Amino acid sequence: MPLEHYRAKRDFTKSPEPAGSPRRRRPSKGLFFCVQKHLASHLHYDFRLEHDGVLLSWAVPKGPSIDPAVKRFAAQVEDHPIEYGDFEEVIPEGYGAGIVMLWDRGTWEPEVDDVDAALRKGDLKFRLNGYKLKGSWVLVRTRFGGSNGWLLIKHRDAWAGPIDIATFAPLSVKSGGDFEDIVGAEAPAIWESKRPARGGVAGKLLAEVLERAARKKAGRAANAARKTAAKKTTTRKRVAKKKR
């Protein structure tokens, strides 16, 4: 699938997302993979595998699970440009408006000879070597959830366990921060009028993120004021000393 679907959905004069160059080969060894935690109208995790110069993409509402007993629904979405793999930013408006966090990244290796054939068949086995996700996995097509429905399942190995990895390791592998740190200095002015999510779980989560961002911003301002005041005091003392 070329990037037309990706581009058609977005206005790059308004979105900070990369338009992407076609069929780009990455210079590094190994195939790239990433997971982007995306707080938009709904919280979800975008699972992406480099293949043929693009990132094959699935939206996983509950995020990947390293517990082999837990099958996670994954809706295949439009291919994304390779450049998207490093993206971590606020999308202020338009398609996908919200906050994108680079939740995991690394390399992947197919455990099949022919990836295209495996995708057609609806059974892609592979290995991940990320910071959080490792070992053997499978994406299998399911007849639930329309024609784009897949299940992401961890195979039983040394990297599997009864741990909720999304809760256990919630932060960015790029910046080390949380959603409010990505919102950063723009908070809380951003989305004063038109929030990407209002009601429901995502709306509540976004409200909390913006509140935390505002608190951090106020904390930074207070710190800066304290430092300025401390500097003034030191200067005054120095002046007084000189006079003596």
Q: Tell whether residue 38 is a contact of Mn ion (CB under 5 A).
A: yes
- DSSP for 179-210 reads HHHHHGGGTTTTTSS--S--SHHHHHHHHHHH
Nearest-approach distance from CB 48 to Mn ion, in angstroms: 10
87 and 17 in contact (C-beta within 8 Å)? Answer: yes
Q: Tell me which DSSP letter residue 214 carries.
A: H
Closest CB to Mn ion: residue number: 38
Q: Tell whether residue 141 is a contact of Mn ion (CB under 5 A).
A: no
Residue whose CB is less far from Mn ion, 47 or 108: 47
Residue whose CB is less far from Mn ion, 99 or 160: 99
Q: Tell whether residue 17 is a contact of Mn ion (CB under 5 A).
A: no
Stretch that binds Mn ion, among 46-54, 65-73, 82-90, 219-227 (CB under 5 A): 46-54
Q: Could you give the string, one character per residue 74-93, with x where binding to Mn ion holds by CB under 5 A and - elsewhere?
A: --------------------
How far apart, in whole angstroms, are the C-alpha atoms of residue 15 and residue 19?
9
- Side chain identity at residue 151, one-letter code: L
How far apart, in whole angstroms, are the C-alpha atoms of residue 116 and residue 93?
34
Nearest-approach distance from CB 38 to Mn ion, in angstroms: 4
Q: Which of 15, 20, 45, 46 binds Mn ion (CB under 5 A)?
A: 46
Q: List, in sequence order, the alpha helices (H) in 47-175.
A: 115-121, 165-168
From residue 65, give the alpha-carbon distance in Å to each of 69, 74, 127: 9, 12, 14
Stretch that binds Mn ion, among 10-18, 36-44, 162-170, 197-205 (CB under 5 A): 36-44
Residue whose CB is less far from Mn ion, 80 or 216: 80
Residue whose CB is less far from Mn ion, 78 or 111: 78
As a residue count, the chain comes to 244
Q: Which residues bind Mn ion (CB under 5 A)?
A: 38, 46
